Amino acid sequence: MVLPPNSVPRFYRGGAAIAELRGIENPPELEPEDWVGSTTTVFGETELGLSRLLDGRLLRDAVAADPPGFFGPDHAARGGADPRLLVKLLDAGERLPVHVHPDDAFAHETLGVPYGKTEAWIVLATAGPAATMHVGFREEVSAATLAGWVRDQDAAAMLDALNAFEVRSGDALFVPAGTPHAIGEGALIVELQEPSDLSILLEWRGFADEEEASLGLGWDLALRCVERSGVEPDRICGRRREGSNGATRLLPAEADRFFLAELVEGSESAELDRGFAILVFTEGAAELHSEDGEPLPVSRGDTVLVPWSAGVCRLQGEAVAMACRPPVADAGAPR
């Protein structure tokens, strides 16, 4: 199923790099995200963020009508019509503020929602030779120090305390829930994440008011979700490893309980394992062959949903795609 663009307005600038990838003219300045194959809404909204299919139906409704067809019988038996995944294209037209996402337990206990937000970033391009990502404190930070930084809005101190990663096209970073981070200006990424839209802005001045920044929780409670211990860079960096059918997995095994990111490089023919996947085509052109339909022409900038019912698919041609998949059941997926 071809997925049309689904741009979402946010509080930061960006969107031009997504428009170039997608072939869209005159993009708005404050639509820096494209939610791909989304059954998730923006926090506090009832429809914004949801993807529509080419026939106008909400993907959420199509999935609800046939969970086994989209996800397979095992996934549907465990989670029904919940894909357990949100995929985004994100173009940081400016450095994003230092922020953090709660984990599942905190989100459920304080906000009554099932998911927090563990995420990962696959870098497609950078505006310059590299972009700088700040992820995880280098050393343990006391609760009082963190509270002081947030109170004083000392962005420089927060950034200086975080690990800095210079990233280029092809790099991947894994960001567990609770890890403070800031995406660098000029980064175009594919983001895989749990299906939620919860962000606590530790650096809020110029981006939001304090009520929005703390998700209405107040800082005493909101800051409890922050992982204040030091984080080793090796835990954050993606480590390429062998997948199946010649695909390359781009994230550490720790990510498998949340999502999978596989690099699929077409040549004479590349085979995709059967199962639900969101494909983001980043280079070239090819044909996508399924077991139940006509070949689908695809090229750079296209996004395609592959349901379980499509069977084993083959990519014939010279295209390169990112295959984004839900969590692996035997990897200890949280639900």
Residue 328: per-residue pLDDT = 81
**48: three-class secondary structure by DSSP:** coil
Residue 102: per-residue pLDDT = 98
Query: pLDDT class for 272, splitting at 50, 70, 90?
Result: very high
- Does 331 have pLDDT greater than 70? no
Instruction: Please give the mean pLDDT across all residues of the chain.
Output: 94
Q: Of the given ranges (38-42, 75-79, 205-209, 262-266), which has the lowest mean pLDDT? A: 262-266
Average pLDDT for residues 150-161, to the nearest whole number?
A: 98
- Does 269 have pLDDT greater than 80? no
pTM of the predicted protein model = 0.95
Residue 130's CB: how many other CB atoms inside 10 A? 17
- Which whole-number Å values give the CA distances from 259 to 32, 253, 328, in the listed order? 23, 10, 7
pLDDT one-digit tens code per residue, 122-142:
999 999 999 999 999 999 999
pLDDT one-digit tens code per residue, 305-321:
999 999 999 999 999 99
Domain boundaries defined on the chain = 7-236, 241-331
Inter-residue contact 17 to 65 (CB < 8 Å)? no
Inter-residue contact 268 to 318 (CB < 8 Å)? no
Q: Tell me the percentage of the chain whose pLDDT exceeds 70.
A: 98
Residue 26: per-residue pLDDT = 81
Higher pLDDT, 300 or 244: 300
Query: pLDDT class for 233, splitting at 50, 70, 90?
Result: very high
- Does 156 have pLDDT greater than 90? yes
Query: pLDDT class for 243, splitting at 50, 70, 90?
Result: confident
Q: Which residues pair with 121 in a beta bridge?
A: 173, 191
May I ask the CATH class of domain 7-236? mainly beta
Inter-residue contact 187 to 133 (CB < 8 Å)? yes
- Does 228 have pLDDT greater than 80? yes
Residue 246: per-residue pLDDT = 75
Written as one letter, the residue type at 61 is D
Show the DSSP H helices in 72-170 as ranges. 73-79, 104-111, 143-152, 155-161
- The CB-based long-range contact list for 151-160 (8 Å cut-off, 24+ gap) reads 151/219, 153/203, 153/204, 153/205, 155/97, 155/98, 155/203, 155/205, 158/98, 158/202, 158/203, 159/98, 159/134
Residue 333: per-residue pLDDT = 52
The CATH code belonging to domain 241-331 is: 2.60.120.10
Average pLDDT for residues 79-95, to the nearest whole number?
A: 97
The kind and range of the H/E element at 148 are helix 143-152
Whether 7-236 and 241-331 share one fold: the answer is yes
Q: Which two tokens stand for residue 191?
A: 């983001």
Query: What is the β-pairing status of strands 270-272 and 260-265?
Result: unpaired
Q: What's the rounded Cα separation, in Å, for the pair 75 and 71?
A: 6
Q: Which residue has the tokens 């791909």?
A: 36
Residue 335: per-residue pLDDT = 45
Residue 233's CB: how many other CB atoms inside 10 A? 13
Q: Which residues pair with 242 in a beta bridge?
A: 248
- Does 76 have pLDDT greater than 90? yes
Residue 330: per-residue pLDDT = 60
Identify the top-confidence range among 18-27, 183-192, 264-273: 183-192
The kind and range of the H/E element at 33 are strand 33-36
- Does 334 have pLDDT greater than 60? no
**174: three-class secondary structure by DSSP:** strand
- Does 183 have pLDDT greater than 70? yes
Higher pLDDT, 240 or 71: 71
Return the CA Rg of the chain: 19
